[in-house]
Structure 1
Amino acid sequence: MSTTRNLALPLIAAAQAQKHVTHNEALALLDALVQIACLDKDRPAPPPSPAEGDRYLVPDDPGGAWTGLAGQVACFQGGVWIGLVPRPGWLAWLVDEGEAYLFTGAGWIPLAATLRSLRNLAGLGVNAVPDAENRLAVKADGALFSWDETKPEAGDIRLALNRRAAGRDAALSFQTGFSARALFGLLGGDDLALKVSGDGAAFVTALSVAAGSGRVRLPAGLDGTPVGTAEPAAARFSALTLVPASADPAGGALGQIAVNSSAGALKWFDGAKWARIANLAKFSARTNYDNYIPAGAWTRIAFNEADSNDQGAFRAGQNRFVAPEAGLYRLGAALTYRRNGTSQPSLFEARLYRGGAPAGRGRSAAAGPLADGVSGLLIDAVLPLAAGEWVEVFARFTGADGYAAAADSAFHGAQLP
């Protein structure tokens, strides 16, 4: 072998005379072939005044001193043009284009074109093997997508999931052992939805955001009951659905909301206790007959009919209000005087009784002379009551008896939030 296998560099033969000639020729070829930088690839003939060491990629059908060098690397050395036959895999930089070229064996092609061929790959795997379903497969502990800082106007980044039609899915799937446990995205519609599953087969909608209004909806089956798909959407979803429990939860965190089905109340935890925020106890009652009140005796007024009675807290048979739970209540009463014959009391009094004894607040009086059907009393008081504690209205005349008239007499109250 008189030349090297790959670059065809001349080898010094044994006992060769003038070895420096062969050695220098090999160095000149190395100088031409290593880190190839050609000035042009489109000239049909050599330039008129080349410089020592100039290199060109010779096109097809060249003329002049390049005749017979088509497809080769032409190098000007020692005042003559020599041709260097390229081999597949050689790279050359084209100075005039600022582009790298690759020799494939059939010709020189821009390296950028090779890279552009990556734009239409059938699949791409990063530490993994893609398949027909997963054209992009990545096996890693993390993946980063960041905004392009090379663009002055950049700063945003969006990941687009584009589906064919509204009835299809555009979603993220969160899996365990390649079995889906949660789906988040546009699932068969335009509403944003979150679905969860315990087995990867049956999914429950945990959250839905209406596309038209942005309204957040929780499914009626949030307690785990499967949500039917045959019902109208309005029947399957509500603005806020909470699972009822028969009693207040044991403890809680500030701001939590719960439903007490026994109390029929929506409650929130205020940091110390569960307090009602809906269906607060309230009532309005009246008496359907004139109540006789003897002189000098505190007598309970028989309020025996309810105009309204949330939670049944007013007990008509006992003429009293019973607090359904501990809390602060505002209570009031109105009584109108009615004369008994010629009796003329000197004082008409009324007060609230709590648990069978004077409440200590909530009292009113009117001194004589009392006008029949005109003189009246008003009571207004705020009482802290324990659950089951009751409140009644009592009245008394001084000096003579009389009546609390059915007309214009009332008893009412409400729990304060």
Structure 2
Amino acid sequence: MSDETSVRLGLPLLQSGQAQKEMFHNEALTLLDLAVQPVVESVGMNAPPTAPVAGICWVIGTAPSGAWTGQAQALAGWSEAGWRFIAARDGMAAWSLVDGAIARFSDGAWTVGRVSGTEVVLGGNVVVGARQAAIADPAGGSTTDAAARAAIISILAALRTHGLIAR
């Protein structure tokens, strides 16, 4: 941590004997307002809007221009004092209004609407867990039921397509 800013969000820290501490405190609060549970208009916009409204935020794209130059993939928020930026860090998430989904920053990029985890739990019950081994399509047998076989093949295809069993 530097003596002047916080480690993760780069918030300005108060210094002993510092004049006008309220300015630094207010700047830190403005940046926290942008960073905590952000809701953004969109993800990946490269040019700032022409008439931003105070309190509205965006996730900047990879080739920013204008007032956003040098702030690739950062959170950008307009305040009454101008643009404020928070650099993206792995694990950051923001609700994207235009997409109606969560955007997450990981491995140097924002992804929208992607959910990852190890299982899905509904009502306390695991309904989707780890991927299972491949299951072969039915073949052979002494009695062949074409309709049942077609149904089983369709079920297996759906499970493979959704990634629930290996191909």
| 1:11–1:79 Cα change, 3 Å | closer
Q: Report deviation, 1:190.
A: 3.5
Correspondence list, 1:181-200, <5 A: 189-190=142-143
State the Cα deviation string for residues 326-352 of structure 1 (Å, max 9, x = none). Answer: xxxxxxxxxxxxxxxxxxxxxxxxxxx
Q: Report deviation, 1:116.
A: 9.3
2:45 alignment partner, SS class: coil
Contact 2:52 2:78 in 1 (8 A): yes
Q: Which structure 2 residue ranges, 5 or more long, are not aligned?
A: 120-125, 146-167
Instruction: Give the Cα–Cα distance (whole angstroms) in 1 for the partners of residues 140 and 85 of structure 2.
Output: 64
Q: Which residue of 2 aligns with 1:401?
A: none
Instruction: Give the Cα–Cα distance (whole angstroms) in 2 for the partners of residues 190 and 102 of structure 1.
Output: 52
Q: Which residue of 2 aligns with 1:41?
A: 43
State the Cα deviation string for residues 196-254 of structure 1 (Å, max 9, x = none). Answer: xxxxxxxxxxxxxxx8xxxxxxxxxxxxxxxxxxxxxxxxxxxxxxxxxxxxxxxxxxx
Q: Which residue of 2 aligns with 1:24?
A: 26
Match of 2:92 among 90, 100, 108: 90
Contact 2:60 2:72 in 1 (8 A): yes
Instruction: Give the Cα–Cα distance (whole angstroms) in 2 for the partners of residues 67 and 117 of structure 1.
Output: 38
Instruction: Give the Cα–Cα distance (whole angstroms) in 1 for the partners of residues 81 and 9 of structure 2.
Output: 22
Instruction: Give the Cα–Cα distance (whole angstroms) in 1 for the partners of residues 65 and 81 of structure 2.
Output: 17
1:32 alignment partner, SS class: helix
- Larger CA Rg, structure 1 vs 2: 1
Q: Report deviation, 1:78.
A: 2.6
Q: Report deviation, 1:83.
A: 2.1
Which amino acid in 2 is paired with 1:96?
A: V
Q: Which residue of 1 aligns with 2:154?
A: none
* Higher strand proportion (structure 1 or 2): 1
Q: Normalised by the size of structure 1, how large is the TM-score?
A: 0.29
Which amino acid in 1 is paired with 2:138?
A: R
State the Cα deviation string for residues 157-216 of structure 1 (Å, max 9, x = none). Answer: xxxx9852133xxxxxxxxxxxxxxxxxxxxx439xxxxxxxxxxxxxxxxxxx8xxxxx
RMSD of aligned Cα (Å): 3.0
Match of 2:139 among 165, 171, 175: 165
Instruction: Give the Cα–Cα distance (whole angstroms) in 1 for the partners of residues 118 and 57 of structure 2.
Output: 29
1:113 alignment partner, SS class: coil
Instruction: Give the Cα–Cα distance (whole angstroms) in 1 for the partners of residues 47 and 137 of structure 2.
Output: 56
Correspondence list, 1:63-82, <5 A: 63-82=65-84
* Higher helix proportion (structure 1 or 2): 2
| 1:79–1:20 Cα change, 3 Å | closer
- 2:109 matched to 1:135? no
Show structure 1 runs of 4+ deviating over 6 A: none
Contact 2:43 2:61 in 1 (8 A): yes
Which amino acid in 1 is paired with 2:98?
A: D
Q: Which residue of 2 aligns with 1:113?
A: 114
State the Cα deviation string for residues 62-82 of structure 1 (Å, max 9, x = none). Answer: 222112212111111234212
Q: Normalised by the size of structure 2, how large is the TM-score?
A: 0.68
Correspondence list, 1:239-250, <5 A: none
| 1:75–1:166 Cα change, 3 Å | same
Q: Which residue of 2 aligns with 1:58?
A: 60
| 1:106–1:42 Cα change, 3 Å | closer
2:22 alignment partner, SS class: helix
Q: Report deviation, 1:57.
A: 0.8
Q: Which residue of 2 aligns with 1:359?
A: none
User: Aligned pairs, how many?
Assistant: 134
Instruction: Give the Cα–Cα distance (whole angstroms) in 1 for the partners of residues 118 and 108 of structure 2.
Output: 17
Instruction: Give the Cα–Cα distance (whole angstroms) in 1 for the partners of residues 117 and 136 of structure 2.
Output: 24
| 1:42–1:104 Cα change, 3 Å | closer
State the Cα deviation string for residues 60-118 of structure 1 (Å, max 9, x = none). Answer: 222221122121111112342122101100001111111111100311012x3344998
Q: Report deviation, 1:59.
A: 0.9
| 1:16–1:62 Cα change, 3 Å | same
Instruction: Give the Cα–Cα distance (whole angstroms) in 2 for the partners of residues 31 and 104 of structure 1.
Output: 22
Higher relative contact order (CA 8 A, sep 6+): 2
Contact 2:44 2:62 in 1 (8 A): no
Aligned residues: percent identity?
32
Q: Which residue of 1 aligns with 2:163?
A: none
